[in-house]
Each structure stands twice: as structure tokens, then as C-alpha cells.
Structure 1
């Protein structure tokens, strides 16, 4: 082999090695694009729950959010020796839709500007998450984590591919039940009545737009106070503004009404943890407790393991190490 050919071969091997590493640790859609790397060997290994090797934590964001809000937790998990991937749902995060009128802060135009998110459903979100799960499961144990609305995708995916998941975790997340089968039903329950709802902050008509649209760049003190208490109660203003900077204007209306009830024989077989935020003003502690109780009633032999964060708001503790510690300690299903 000539020197040039050897150099080309070595470059190719190095590039494939880098791509494999990025595919298992980078945020967003990077993991999904690595399906061809080592796929044949992974299929032969047939890895399922109980497989050895580093865990992959898949972190799914919530409403009006993006994977970037979970990168602090992902980084801490990586420092503990795990793989961690933040999943951007369709038209979120790295592929976010930013209305032109939002950039200009033209509120009249913002009230009517069409949004591609209007065509989405919970099916689209769950399918995106399931693709990540199917890829990650080839490499070892998978822990699927949903924050806020991300819990509905966790329910859907755990119902569809329970054999590929070793643990599921709800981070101040919705966990619909037979009595409350959708996110809307959870929020409409008596336990959800104490939640802060930004009704006065909604831009335009959600029924006409097909999305709930919020102006996170507002300078109005009243609006900012509502947003802060809703998701970041107790945060310093500097940290609150960092959260706001990555929030998205639009969330599809139909996803809120998508049924997401896990079956006892599928979702109900997977070990599960709930990270309970005691100062949450969006998914209230009372609603969190009811969702935990109804899940435990459905599968009394496989109950939630609850980790309580009494002073944390909806976005979780300021220090991501606290959430990472709780996730690091979850027990995997064996066999």
C-alpha cells in the first residue's frame, strides 16, 4: 500500500471514530444520523434492556422549549461517565421556527403570521423520540427522560417499544392516565387548577393559528413576572433571562390534546422515576402527586420512585448537578 493510500485509510478511520463519538454524545438530532455507523454489529448484538455498557440518557424537552434547556443536565451526566443526548422535537431547537414578526417585535403581525407547527401532532413528537430510542438501544441501556410536555412522548414511546427502554423518568412532567388521558385533561383537573396560565400573554387566536404563541421577548414587567413565576420561580433575574432567551414562540395546539396513556403491560413494565418539583407553578405539585398516584394504581407492582426537590420550580434546580445526581442513581431493568 502506498503512503498516500495508507494516509487516506487512516484519515477515514479517524473520521469514522469521531463521528461515532459525536453521535453518542452530541445534542439534538446528531444521534439519529449515526444509524449507519456500526449498525450491523449493533444488530447482531441485539442489545435490549439489561445490556452492559454505558447508559444513554435521552432528554426530551417540554412545551415552548428546546433541548438546550437540558444541556446542563446532559453535561453533568457525561461527566459521570454516561452518554447523554438532548432531543429537539420537530420545529424546535436547532430547527426552530422563528416568526419574522417576532424578530421585529411587530405584535400586530405576530398575531396572524402562520406557523409550520400548526400541522404537527403528538404523533410527530413521539416518532422523533422513538427514532432516537431505536438508535441508542443498539449501543446499550437507554434511560428516557421527559421534562414537562416531554412526558407525553415518554408515555407514547414506552408503550410502543418497552423492550428498548431500561428506565423512564419524568422531570416535572405530564404522565397522563386513564382518568386524565391527555395533557389538556391533566391541566383541566382540580389538581391543575392552581397552575399559572399565561392567558393574557397569548398572542393571536390559537384556534386560528393552530399554535399557542407567546412573546418571550416582551419588555412588559407584568408579562415577565407571569413567565418567571410560571417556570422559574425563585431564579435570579440573570438566570431567568437565559431561560427566556432559548424559549420558543410557538407550540402546536393539537399536541396538547393527544392521548398518551401508557398500558400496564407495556409502559407499566418499565422501572420509572418521578422528579417532583415542589415550587412548580405550571405542573403543580398537587397534579404531580395525582399523576404519580394514578400511575402506581395502574401498576401496583411497579411503582414510581420519587425524588423530591421541595424548593425547585418547573425548570428544576439552578444547579444541574442535583438533577444529574438523581438520574445517575436510577436502577436499570435487568433482562
Structure 2
């Protein structure tokens, strides 16, 4: 099966699993990290002079245990093609990430109990951070395309539900897209399809006590390192894998994993959407990707996912970023009514604040 072929996505019924299996499924989400199957009316491939794609703003959302820097290569290529790129750091991630002292010293006993401010974060905090970026991007003019990888998909669903009028396209890249039968990332990962994913050999500390899923990416255990690579980027070179590990952070919020993120048909469901399906993904199992696609399409049969298949790619996608860049660059977008600059104190420019790690300017 060649890359970018169409994919069929059968639906599957979910079952209830124990808390232990749910936590195991959450650990599997620690990766970050075709032909069209149909699209709703009112979409077009925006073009500028000479038939070239018009300038867009891509708002890129990273996955669990990751940061905006994850998008460096893809964002650079999009910028070189004339687009604006905003790679969002979620609260207490990336440039403001929390690093446990015991992680720096590799005191594993202390690392198992060191408190984390990340435990206080909820999906509301993540949603506010991304919505703020989308609102500001929309004021620049031109289409806004919102893209999420892995856990970033739950933010995409939430934000598209909150401000669908600002988005010309949403794209899930091997990302979680909760549905009515699997309303949270935790539910998706705990489903029979989600349980096909690989999990880390060990977690650090008790997630229920810490309030975070904590992983030791600096481990010297060869077995653990081999498992990490197989989970997230088995198709990468060893050198590239080490660069990936260097960008990972220890903690991700358990509360955010469990918060509801189901798009509604009348809001999220009216935004054109795409799914980048990675056929050798061992973190968001391919069977789970198929189920999420199918259940989303059942909710909005008039506006279905455009599915782009990468059958040889693991969770982080192809090591060559140009293939993903080409796809994102060419996504069709719907035409939106233009926004106009507003005074700084209007709600268009400044969304609600109060999210931890995202104080008012």
C-alpha cells in the first residue's frame, strides 16, 4: 500500500476497562508524541496571484510530554513557502516546562515522589492557550489551519468547538479525536483498539498520587530505550531518536487525559477536517485511528475526514518532514468572512484568561 492512499475506517463498539488498563493506555499516549474521503460544501483551495496557495497561518499543537519545538522542521518548511507558523507551547511545556530536580540528577527514588505543578493543569488550560493563538492568528488575515499531533488532537477538537468561525481547516496528525463513545483521551486509549498500543516498560511513581504520568526519558536501561523508540519512531535513525528524547519532558497532566473533548456536529462538525493516518504507529494504534475517524464521520456524514495514509510511518510520522509539509501546504480551506483589527481590550483579541501558565498580558 503506497503512502497517501485512501483508507477505509470501520466502526467498532467500545467496552469498559479497569483503572489499571486505563493508566496503561495513557502511558501508550506518551509519544509526543491519499485520496479524499469527502469534504463538506463551502471549501476551496485558497490561492494568491499566479494560482499559488495564498498565505495561511498554521497553528501547530504538540502532543503529550512534548513542546512546540516538535514542529521545528515542518514549521520551517511551511514558513519558507510563505506561510505564517505558530507552534504553541502548552502551559508548563516547552519554554516554560517543569523539570523535576530529581530528573536532572537521575535520583530515581526522589523522582518517584517529587511534586509537579503540571498536576494542576486541565484540558481547559490547554484549550485556552490554543484558542488565544487562533484568535490572534485570525486577526492577521488569511485562512487559519489548526493542526494537532497525538494529544494535541484533544485541543483541536475543543478549540474547533469553541471558535469554528475562525478556522478554515483542522488536521489531526496521528492524533486523538474523542467521540461520544470515547469522550476523552483516557477513554480512547483504554478502548480495545487503544490497548493495541505499546506502553513504556515502567512509569516513575504512582500517577494517581503524583497527578501526572511521569516518564524517565534519560534512562540508561537499554530495554527501556528500545521500547521508547519502538513506541514513537521505530522508523527513525538512532541519531534522530536521541534528538527526539532530548525534546521530551517528564510530566503530563492526568486530569487533561481524562477531560472530555468531543466535538459537536453544529460547531466542530462544520469545519473541514483531515486525518494523517500513520500505519505503523505503536502509540496511537492504527485500529484506534480508524475507529476515531469512523465515529467522527458517523456524527457528520456530510463533512467527513479527508484521510491521508502513511502506511510505513510510526507515531512521529516520516523522518523526512517534506512529505507532511507538502500535504499541509496543499490542504483545501474554506472561505471565511474577514476579521478586522479591534482595540486590544476587546474579546476578539484577548480571550478569557485564568489558565495556569497563561497570565494576562
Identify whether the pair has TM-score above 0.5, normalized to the shorter chain. yes
C-alpha distance in structure 2 between counterparts of 1:225 and 1:152, whole Å: 28
For residues 85-107 of structure 1, the C-alpha deviation after alignment (integer angstroms, 9 at most, x for no partner) is 11000000000111111000000
Q: Deviations over 1:27-59 (max 9, x none)?
A: xxxxxxxxxxxxxxxxxxxxxxx8985200011
Per-residue deviation, residues 90-149 of structure 1 (Å, max 9, x unmatched): 000000111111000000110111111010001000110000000000012100000000
Q: Does 1 or 2 have the higher relative contact order (CA < 8 Å, sep 6+)?
A: 2
* Residue equivalent to 1:277: 278
In structure 1, distance between residues paired with 2:278 and 2:77: 19
Task: Find the counterpart in structure 1 of residue 254 from structure 2.
Answer: 253
Could you report, residue by residue, the CA deviation over 1:174-211 in whole angstroms, capped at 9, with x for unpaired residues? 0000011000111111111210112x321011111110
Partner in structure 1 of residue 181 of structure 2: 179
**Matching of residue 322 in structure 1 with residue 318 in structure 2:** no
Match of 1:144, SS? strand
Closer, same or farther: CA 260–299 of 1 in aligned 2, 3 Å: same
| Residue equivalent to 1:22 | none
What is the correspondence of 1:179-258 to structure 2 with a 5 Å cutoff?
179-198=181-200, 200-258=201-259
CA distance in 1, matches of 2:55, 2:139: 12
Contact 2:235–2:318 (CA under 8 A) maintained in structure 1: no
Question: Segments of 4+ in structure 1 off by > 3 A?
Answer: 50-53
User: Equivalents in 2 of 1:252, 1:51: separation in Å?
Assistant: 40
Match of 1:308, SS state, is: strand
Alpha-carbon distance in structure 1 between the residues aligned to 2:247 and 2:202: 17
Q: Secondary structure at the match of 1:201?
A: coil
Residues 51 and 266 (structure 1), Cα distance of their counterparts in 2 relative to 1, 3 Å cut: farther
2:47, 2:300 → 1: CA distance?
A: 24
Q: Counterparts of 1:105 and 1:151 in 2: how far apart (Å)?
A: 32
1:65 Cα shift?
0.6
Structure 2 equivalent of residue 105 of structure 1: 106
Q: Which residue of 2 aligns with 1:40?
A: none
Indicate whether 1:118 and 2:102 are aligned: no
Three-state SS of the structure 1 residue aligned to 2:160 is: helix
CA displacement, residues 273-325 of structure 1 (integer Å, 9 cap, x when unaligned):
00111110000111101111111110001010011111111011101111111
CA distance in 1: counterparts of 2:126 and 2:144, whole angstroms: 18
> Secondary structure of the equivalent of 1:91?
coil
Q: Which residue of 2 aligns with 1:16?
A: none
Q: Secondary structure at the match of 1:112?
A: coil
Unaligned runs of 5+ residues in structure 1 are 1-49
Deviations 1:218-260 (A, max 9, x none): 0101100110111011211101000000000000100110100
2:185 and 2:288 mapped to 1: Cα distance?
A: 11
Cα separation, 1, equivalents of 2:217 and 2:55: 38
